[in-house]
Structure 1
């Protein structure tokens, strides 16, 4: 698992929320303008400064965080998804980090809605992703990809060729969550190798994806590492060096990979 996700999840797993702890029920609210502003005011009332300080260290460059724990956001999203989710999601101009998170979680929790409608909500939401946490949490919530793998893969594919860092990361993280399997591993590998970006959060996601891929097709990943190493032996390339080193590091950090295989992976260091 991504170290970013590990760190963020750890503190929240220790603070699971009981439903009755919420003092508002958003499942019966019609989200016209005033009601949505009341919702934002409610979010601000949930602020925990110490938690905000902690989370800001994990998610740098985010200056619109309130400071609300993840289980609370999940519970609010669960309530909204049962009610006027269309009215809620129509408020597209988001002010807060937690607001974007809840919008994403609501989309992930929708039931008995056509795949086409959900894809429209996703298309509307993806441009709001501007950090690794909102991106990765949104991807993890889109379990609909398990039910409609082909339709969702075709839908996310164009994001691989975006010029936006977090749109590309959205594609990669969706793949490592739902498409690194026997059916899709070949095409995912091909697309990952075609991505050419100097963005840190794109390349870290690529390293993470190859770590997951190693668990099901180690030979394929070793071929990828060998290709990077061979290229570096003929021409220095900072991006290739970064991906090679970080992928090796992530594989060796994994508890799911044997010591013998880790030793093989380390041999690709340059």
Structure 2
């Protein structure tokens, strides 16, 4: 499927009401929002992946939020050497400027679970970035695929030592800490007792834990006593 044909199909599937709703959640993005619903994008991605995944990944111009999401979905369905797949992942990162594209790319890249060592080493390159969404890519990918026995301690260390004052990075970091609590309760409680998270991110992480159905009522009562005051 040629890129121009893909763009035409995206335009044919625009939903103005959905576009208005989605735009309200991604106002800060420089990319146009077309208003294509996610089931349509996933169906298109499945068709593209069957026909010519690499052709699309090479040609994609990241010209809209939907095109960037389509890239993420196709990449998640692509099989190959992990070095090649990570290069495709890296190609998308400079175009990520909103939480929706970021989280779709990170969560779709399930190849990380098959090749954790290679993926971890690759992701560590992003630690030196000064771009907030690149750092969000780092922590959301770690949250999505590395909250495991082998990596939990390293993930918590990354969350503890990464510094970025941008709102969307801090929201991603808080989400990651809250998700860690659902999977590794004791380690996360210990983390909260000594971590160097800024007060806003720390309290936002606790707020997300209090909203989670995966955290017990007893633990929620304890977490309420741990919130930092005056923030």
Contact 1:160 1:172 in 2 (8 A): no
Output the CA distance in 2 between the equivalents of 1:103 and 1:189: 29
- Per the TM alignment, residue 93 of structure 1 is displaced from its structure 2 partner at its CA by 2.9
**Number of the residue aligned with 2:209:** 251
1:186 pairs with 2:153: yes
Alpha-carbon RMSD across the aligned residues, in angstroms, is 1.7
- Per the TM alignment, residue 92 of structure 1 is displaced from its structure 2 partner at its CA by 4.3
- Per the TM alignment, residue 209 of structure 1 is displaced from its structure 2 partner at its CA by 0.9
* Residues 169-221 of structure 1: CA deviation (Å, up to 9, x unaligned): 11111111111121101111111111111011111111111111112333332
TM-score (norm 2): 0.92
- Per the TM alignment, residue 254 of structure 1 is displaced from its structure 2 partner at its CA by 0.6
Aligned pairs for 1:150-161 (under 5 A) are 150-161=117-128
**Number of the residue aligned with 2:27:** 60
Contact 2:76 2:110 in 1 (8 A): yes
- Per the TM alignment, residue 225 of structure 1 is displaced from its structure 2 partner at its CA by 2.6
1:195 pairs with 2:136: no
* Residues 22-59 of structure 1: CA deviation (Å, up to 9, x unaligned): xxxxxxx3x3xxxx223212211211100111111222
Deviates more, 1:121-130 or 1:70-79: 121-130
**Number of the residue aligned with 2:13:** 46
Aligned pairs for 1:1-270 (under 5 A) are 29=1, 31=2, 36-62=3-29, 64-111=32-79, 113-227=80-194, 240-269=198-227, 270=229
- Per the TM alignment, residue 252 of structure 1 is displaced from its structure 2 partner at its CA by 0.7
Unmatched tracts of structure 2, length 5 or more = none
Q: Which has the larger radius of gyration?
A: 1
TM-score (norm 1): 0.79
Output the CA distance in 1 between the equivalents of 2:77 and 2:184: 32
Give the 3-state SS of the residue equivalent to 1:180 in structure 2: coil
